[in-house]
């Protein structure tokens, strides 16, 4: 199966909020995350990822509903396990929901979800999402205990947190890549499907191809950053071309 590319459009909303957070009804509001998502689709993205955070720092509720209505591929809703956000997800019924940890003081997601500690709460949410037909993914570190817990929770996917790999150098980077390889192998053996994301860019994504059983990469910041120079369609096409090099 060719490696799919999911494009995270949160940072299009970040740019919008920087200017129009208090005036989203203005006719001048731009850029539109939905417009960015449609360009990404047309350029080859197989899905669009958006994180509706509790503090609404970038993506807003109406963005999620409009994305669900507009996309021709699929909406992957990243979400914390908070009752308010879960309630919205149950209304939107995204194709995929990726449950992530959330800390209001963080700039971006800093680590994987603790499926072991929060097993009971996650079980309830996963059941509700499954009842609406949503495919569930758990964003976790490549830790054997977390991977086993994800399998026990009956999630269809895990998304391996690649941030430690992306931020490391030298022997530490090699070690983190090895953890991802072993984590993917364990997940596959347990019947889990494997995605990956966080900190991936045009320089390091090929290194990740050593990880087996990958189905989808979710990448946002690097693509939106590249788009400022090349345009969004070109930025997506360039990353999609890299994904096509993943060995089948």
Active site residue 95: no
- At 156 the pLDDT is 98
Determine if residue 106 is left, alpha or beta; phi over 0 gives left, psi from -120 to 50 gives alpha, anything else beta. beta
Do residues 67 and 37 touch, judged by C-beta distance below 8 A? yes
What per-residue confidence (pLDDT) applies to 177? 98
Residue 198 known to be catalytic: yes
Q: How far apart are the first and last CA of the chain?
A: 6
Beta strand segments in the chain, E: 4-8, 47-51, 75-79, 96-99, 135-140, 157-161, 193-197, 214-219
Catalytic pick from 41, 46, 51, 159?
51
- Any catalytic annotation for residue 69? no
Percent over 90 (pLDDT), the chain: 90
Q: What's the whole-number mean pLDDT along residues 156-176?
A: 98
Q: pTM of the predicted model, to two decimals?
A: 0.93
Please answer whether residues 236 and 44 qualify as being in contact, where contact means their C-beta atoms are separated by less than 8 angstroms.
Answer: yes
Domains of the chain (ranges; CATH) run 4-243 (3.20.20.70)
Give the chain's mean pLDDT: 95
Marked catalytic residue, from 58, 176, 198, 216: 198
Mean local confidence (pLDDT), 36-62: 97
Share of the chain above pLDDT 70, in %: 97
pLDDT-derived band at 19, boundaries 50, 70, 90: confident
Active-site option among 46, 78, 102, 216: 78
Q: How many CB atoms lie within 10 A of CB 112?
A: 23
């Amino acid at each position: 199966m060719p490696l799919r590319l999911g494009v995270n459009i949160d940072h299009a909303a970040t740019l919008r909020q920087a200017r129009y957070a208090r005036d989203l009804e203005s006719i001048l509001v731009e850029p539109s995350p939905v417009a960015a998502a449609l360009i990404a689709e047309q350029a080859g993205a197989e899905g669009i990822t958006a994180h509706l955070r509790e503090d609404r720092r970038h993506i807003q509720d109406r963005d999620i509903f409009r994305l669900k209505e507009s996309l021709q591929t699929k909406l992957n809703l990243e979400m914390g396990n908070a009752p308010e956000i879960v309630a919205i997800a149950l209304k939107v019924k995204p194709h995929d929901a990726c449950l992530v940890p959330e800390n209001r003081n963080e700039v971006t997601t800093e680590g994987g979800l603790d499926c072991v500690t929060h097993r009971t709460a996650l079980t309830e949410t996963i059941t509700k999402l499954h009842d609406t037909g949503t495919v569930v993914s758990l964003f976790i570190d490549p830790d054997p205990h977390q991977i086993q817990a994800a399998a026990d929770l009956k999630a269809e996917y895990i998304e391996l947190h690649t941030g430690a790999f992306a931020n490391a150098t030298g022997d530490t980077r090699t070690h983190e890549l090895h953890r991802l390889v072993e984590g993917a192998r364990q997940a596959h053996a347990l019947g889990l499907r494997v995605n990956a994301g966080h900190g991936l860019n045009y320089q390091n994504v090929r290194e990740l191809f050593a990880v087996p059983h990958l189905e989808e990469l979710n990448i946002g910041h690097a693509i939106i950053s590249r788009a400022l120079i090349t345009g969004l369609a070109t930025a997506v096409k360039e990353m999609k071309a890299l994904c096509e090099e993943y060995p089948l």
